[in-house]
Structure 1
Amino acid sequence: MIKVYNIYMEKPSYSGHRARLRKRFENAGLSSFLEHEILELLLTYAISRKDTKPLAWALLKKFGSLGSVLDATPSELGEVPGIGKHSALFIRLVREVMRFYFLEEVKKRKEITTPENVVDFCRASLQGEPNEVFEVIYLTTRNTVIGVERISTGTIDRASISPRKIIEQALKRRAAALIFVHNHPSGEPDPSAEDRALTETLSRIAAPLGIAVLDHIVVGKGKFFSIRANSFIKTKKEKV
Structure 2
Amino acid sequence: MGGKPKAATADRLLDAGEYGGAGDGTAEQPHYHGHRERLRARFLGQGAEALQDYELLELLLFVIPRRDVKPLAKQLLRDFGGLWAVVNAPVERLQSYAQMTEGAVSALKVAGAVALRMARQEVLNKPVLSSWQKLLDYCAAAMAHQEVEQFRLLFLDRKNTLIADEVQQRGTVDHTPVYPREVVRRALELGASALILVHNHPSGDPTPSRADIDMTKQIVAAAQALGVVVHDHLVIGKGRHVSFKSAGLL
- With normalisation by structure 1, the TM-score equals 0.87
Encode CA deviations 1:49-69: one digit per residue, 9 max, x unaligned. Answer: 432212212323432332332
- With normalisation by structure 2, the TM-score equals 0.84
Partner residue in 1 for 2:188: 171
Match of 1:217 among 217, 234, 246: 234
Query: Which protein is bigger by CA-based radius of gyration?
Result: 2
Counterpart-to-counterpart distance in 1, 2:115 and 2:202? 19
RMSD: 2.2
Match of 1:31 among 49, 53, 56: 49
Encode CA deviations 1:25-48: one digit per residue, 9 max, x unaligned. Answer: 11222212122212111212x323
The unaligned stretches of length 5 or more in structure 1 are: 234-240
Counterpart-to-counterpart distance in 2, 1:111 and 1:119? 10
Do 2:235 and 2:243's aligned partners in 1 also have CA atoms closer than 8 Å? yes
The size of the alignment, in residue pairs, is 230
Do 2:144 and 2:200's aligned partners in 1 also have CA atoms closer than 8 Å? yes
Instruction: Please state if 1:21 is matched with 2:39.
Output: yes
Q: What are the within-5 Å matches in structure 2 for residues 73-92 of structure 1?
A: 73-92=90-109
Aligned amino acid, residue 88 of structure 1:
V
Partner residue in 1 for 2:199: 182
Partner residue in 2 for 1:53: 70
Instruction: Please state if 1:140 is matched with 2:143.
Output: no
Encode CA deviations 1:88-115: one digit per residue, 9 max, x unaligned. Answer: 2321222222221111111153343685
1:160 deviates by: 1.4
Instruction: Please state if 1:100 is matched with 2:117.
Output: yes
Counterpart-to-counterpart distance in 2, 1:116 and 1:64? 23
Encode CA deviations 1:154-211: one digit per residue, 9 max, x unaligned. Answer: 1111111122222121111000000011111111111111111111111100112111
Partner residue in 1 for 2:166: 149
Counterpart-to-counterpart distance in 2, 1:225 and 1:106? 19
SS of 2:153 mapped into structure 1: strand
Do 1:113 and 1:143's aligned partners in 2 also have CA atoms closer than 8 Å? no
Aligned identity (percent) is 34
Counterpart-to-counterpart distance in 2, 1:190 and 1:73? 25
SS of 1:138 mapped into structure 2: strand
SS of 2:122 mapped into structure 1: helix
Aligned amino acid, residue 106 of structure 1:
V
Do 1:59 and 1:80's aligned partners in 2 also have CA atoms closer than 8 Å? no
Counterpart-to-counterpart distance in 1, 2:47 and 2:125? 25
Instruction: Please state if 1:131 is matched with 2:162.
Output: no
SS of 1:106 mapped into structure 2: coil
Do 1:74 and 1:85's aligned partners in 2 also have CA atoms closer than 8 Å? no
Counterpart-to-counterpart distance in 1, 2:118 and 2:33? 31
Q: 1:117 to 1:65 in 2, by over 3 A?
A: closer
Partner residue in 2 for 1:62: 79
Partner residue in 1 for 2:175: 158
Partner residue in 2 for 1:237: none
Counterpart-to-counterpart distance in 1, 2:78 and 2:123? 34
Match of 1:110 among 127, 131, 147: 127
Partner residue in 1 for 2:60: 42
SS of 1:57 mapped into structure 2: helix
Counterpart-to-counterpart distance in 1, 2:231 and 2:61? 41
